[in-house]
Structure 1
Amino acid sequence: MNKTAVLWDLNGVIIDDMRFHFLSFQAYMRELGSDMTEEYFITNCTGTPPNEVFEAVLPVLGNPVSIEEAIERKREIYFELIRGNMKILPGVKQLIDDLCSRGVKQAVASGATGIEVETILREFDIRERFGAVVACEDVSHGKPDPEPFLTAASRLGIPPEMCVVIEDGEYGIRAARACGMAALAVTNTQTREQLALASLIVDSLEEVDAGAVLGLI
């Protein structure tokens, strides 16, 4: 039995939907009579679970709704925006299939909500490739805390040192390194300088195959 695993981030790695997350946050803030700039989103929301985003912004607005209501409405707007507009990133399906053919276990560890993760994976018919999904509601602390990746590894039954994380964000890379996992960074959303802690940095997953990924362990 193969005793290695690859743990995938979702947003910015499997799909490029950061623009849709920004637009859905912005649209909802405008519904509440406020706004959100792209600069604020990039600095404070990228890689941050939605409950933590709303924990920060709702008190400033006088807590007009509950965090649960805010998450649900933002999710509704997000799904409206991505319908028919979402694309899987280059090299992703090929790498997932290559890893599967070698018997490598795979999981998704994302700061998105479970319903978002499940919907996206099923949209591209790749849900069955993943032995575990860890979403924001499955952990007490999001990235850069290592809990999401440790939880995913535990669910797969693979020790952390035998896992490779695929990430596009500095927080995710820091989380992987904090628990002794190798990290492959792809520059879909951040610069090489921001991802410098990674074991390997590429500009596209088309540049690597399963052998190259597993060689990082």
Structure 2
Amino acid sequence: MKNKYSDYAIIFDMDGVIADTNPYHSLAWKSFAEKYNFTINDEDLKNHVFGRTNKSIFDFLFGDSLSPEKISLLANEKEVLFRDIYKNNIKALPGLVELLISIKNNFFKIGMATSAPSENVSLIVDELRINKFFDVIVDPKDITRSKPDPEIYIKCSQLLSVIPERCLVFEDSLPGIEAAVSAGMKVIGITSTHSSDELKNTLITIDDFLQIDINKIKEILK
């Protein structure tokens, strides 16, 4: 007999949700900035970098004169820096693994919809040994439009064969929340990047996964 929750899905962003990567992205961006003789502060990162597209980020940093090919090269250079800094510091957000086990045991489908490149996804998912929990992982290679466009969440729900109205998303960034809401999904905000007050259009906000359980998820999706 089919379990009723198999028609529902829980979708996770990665950076700032699966793991609190932003402090290490900050270090990578500051190292990158030093090489190219400019400065970038925490407010710049929060308002113009985290959750943004590469084009938006590099337009902010260098103006809009860079070609798509140059943006791709620079973005790859920065991500290599990030992986080198982060590879020995990978930790799941508290309570993540226990919640994934509980979600899976209750027959929900589980997806990931991330703006991070595939190499970053593999690094984190493999180190945390959580690949087995995810039915679908969607990253930039699978889409043509980045968050805040809803394409990545719509694509994830389609691959999971779950309608958007039955999807619950965990997100930390403003563009990510906008994307999920525009896709017609419910959103729980994670306060790893922005304060609770800044995370508009979320049902609730949490600091980590110790503050949510499967019963609360079922209540939200009723």
**TM-score calculated relative to the size of structure 1:** 0.91
Deviations 1:109-156 (CA, angstroms, capped at 9, x unpaired)? 111112111221111000121111111232222222211111111111
Query: What is the deviation of 1:17?
Result: 0.9
TM-aligned CA distance change 1:81 to 1:114, over 3 Å: same
Query: What is the deviation of 1:158?
Result: 0.9
* Residues 79-90 of structure 1 aligned to structure 2 (within 5 Å): 79-90=83-94
Q: What residue in structure 1 maps to residue 213 of structure 2?
A: 209
2:77 matched to 1:77? no
* Residues 49-198 of structure 1 aligned to structure 2 (within 5 Å): 49-59=53-63, 66-198=70-202
Aligned residue-pair number: 216
Query: What is the deviation of 1:212?
Result: 1.2
Instruction: Specify the SS of the correspondent of 1:85.
Output: coil
Q: What residue in structure 1 maps to residue 38 of structure 2?
A: 34
Question: Which contiguous aligned blocks of 4+ residues in structure 1 show a shift greater than 4 angstroms?
Answer: 59-63
TM-aligned CA distance change 1:50 to 1:120, over 3 Å: farther
Runs (5+) with no aligned partner, structure 2: none
Instruction: Specify the SS of the correspondent of 1:93.
Output: helix
TM-aligned CA distance change 1:156 to 1:48, over 3 Å: same
Distance 1:182 1:22 in 2: 29
Kept in 1, the 8 Å contact 2:157–2:163? The answer is yes
Distance 1:135 1:127 in 2: 14
Q: What residue in structure 2 maps to residue 24 of structure 1?
A: 28
Q: What residue in structure 2 maps to residue 200 of structure 1?
A: 204
Q: What residue in structure 2 maps to residue 8 of structure 1?
A: 12
Opposite residue 147 of structure 1, the aligned amino acid is E
Runs (5+) with no aligned partner, structure 1: none
Instruction: Report the structure, 1 or 2, having the larger helix content.
Output: 2
RMSD across aligned positions (CA): 1.9
Query: What is the deviation of 1:48?
Result: 1.1
